Amino acid sequence: MNKPLLHKTALVTGASRGIGAAIAKRLAADGAEVILHFGSGAAEAQAVAAEIRAAGGKASTVQADLAAADGPAKLAAAVTTPTVDILVNNAGVALFAGIDAMSEAEFDRQANINMRSLFFITQKFLPRIPAGGRIINVASAVTRIAFPGIPAYAATKGFVDVLTLQLAAELGKRNITVNAVAPGAIDTQMSAWVRTPEGEQTVAQIQALPGIGQPAHVAGVVGFLAGPDGAWTTGQIVDVSGGTKL
């Protein structure tokens, strides 16, 4: 079996379930040694790592609260490998509240995880990313499509888009690619609404492709960007929304 990421080390944040877990499994299947970060889902992260090892891959777990100011530093200290070839900034939270309903505490938590931690995790791991390394951020289709009830979440993902572009330009001289994937409605615990009758009807009306997006759909694009075929792609936000609101 082809293992394009053999001898590579990948760190995936927010990898205990959903999209992060699927990305970790895909990178491991492609040969990478994967470090799965989790915030509070220790048992879930350990189960994903065990599944990877049972399939013949290499996986370990690390914990850090990315809502805390020292979360990125603690994550950097917990990861002891000298080199991280692939950094996947996946950790994020989506709080569904309009501008009139969101509290300052809720806003700060979402901003800390979705924006601040991504910035400083990237900063702290940059010295360990070698030439040819990859940074892949998980953005969202909501930066090009207005969805009601999530203005703060959408704004945090706009930060991800802009940072991706800026870092791609800055890090190109080191031969490090920086890209983002932008999922739409994906069948995860965070987006459980897509499995309700109303959710399924909404998705059917706004997507070009039939069905509900799966975490593996996103992981496949990440696998491409992390692998040798993605070596000449940088500064891109790759839509993985099934053609939502084309």
Residues carrying an active site annotation: 153
- φ, ψ for residue 48, nearest 5 deg: -65, -45
Confidence (pLDDT) at 195: 73
Portion of the chain with pLDDT greater than 70, in percent: 98
* CA-to-CA separations, 135 to 86, 138, 146, 233, in angstroms, rounded: 6, 10, 27, 11
At 205, the amino acid letter reads Q
What sign for the dihedral angle of Cα 24, 26, 29, 31? Answer: negative
Interval 163-205: pLDDT, tens: 999 999 999 999 999 999 999 999 887 677 777 887 788 888 8
Average pLDDT over residues 4-28: 98
Answer yes or no: is pLDDT of 148 > 90: no
Interval 194-236: pLDDT, tens: 778 877 888 888 999 999 999 999 999 999 999 999 999 999 9
CA–CA gap between residue 211 and residue 39 (Å, rounded) = 31
Interval 75-109: pLDDT, tens: 999 999 999 999 999 999 999 899 999 999 999 99
Answer yes or no: is pLDDT of 42 > 90: yes
Look at the pTM and tell me if it is higher than 0.85: yes
Please tell me the class of the 9-240 domain. Answer: alpha beta
Question: Which residues on adjacent β-strands are paired with residue 38?
Answer: 63
